[in-house]
């Protein structure tokens, strides 16, 4: 019972809640953008046979941002994602990796 009272009167507890609500909204926006990127990249790949490099790079870093956001929301980390930390770096395109055949 004491833990409940301490949490209800803790400024840090309520500040974290405010950040969680903010990042929940940002994650939902990011997921909507990711859905659009998936569709555009699919159509581009269908028409050209290759990936669009800039879309790939942005969707890679956006996916990492979404992961970092949900790690913060689920208490896996106390580190707040962007804009409180650097924007995640994109991974290399699959064509840039050596063949695994």
Question: What pLDDT was estimated at residue 83?
Answer: 86
The whole-number pLDDT of residue 65 equals 96
Q: Where are the domains of the chain?
A: 10-88
Q: What is the pLDDT of residue 99?
A: 43
Give dist(CA 57, CA 94) in Å, integer. Answer: 11
- pLDDT of 25 reads 97
Decide: 30 and 69 in contact? Cβ < 8 Å. yes
Q: Quick one: three-class SS letters along 23-86?
A: HHHHHHHHHHHHHHHHHHHHHHHHHHCCCCHHHHHHHHHHHHHHHHHHHHHCCCCCCCCCCCCC
Output the pLDDT for position 76: 94
Q: So what's the pLDDT on residue 60? A: 94
- For the chain, 101 residues long, the average pLDDT of each consecutive 10-residue run is 81 91 97 97 92 92 96 94 88 58 39
**What per-residue confidence (pLDDT) applies to 94?**
67
Are 69 and 81 contacting, i.e. CB atoms less than 8 angstroms apart? yes
The pLDDT score that the predictor gives to residue 69 is: 96
């Amino acid at each position: 019972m004491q833990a409940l009272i301490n949490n209800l009167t803790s400024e840090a507890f309520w500040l974290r809640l405010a950040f969680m609500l903010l990042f929940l909204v940002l994650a939902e926006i990011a997921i909507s953008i990711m859905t659009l990127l998936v569709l555009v990249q699919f159509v581009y790949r269908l028409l050209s046979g290759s990936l669009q490099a800039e879309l790939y790079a942005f969707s890679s870093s956006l996916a990492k941002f979404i992961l970092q956001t949900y790690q913060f929301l689920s208490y896996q980390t106390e580190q707040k994602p962007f804009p409180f930390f650097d924007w995640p770096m994109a991974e290399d395109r699959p064509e840039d990796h050596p063949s695994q055949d």
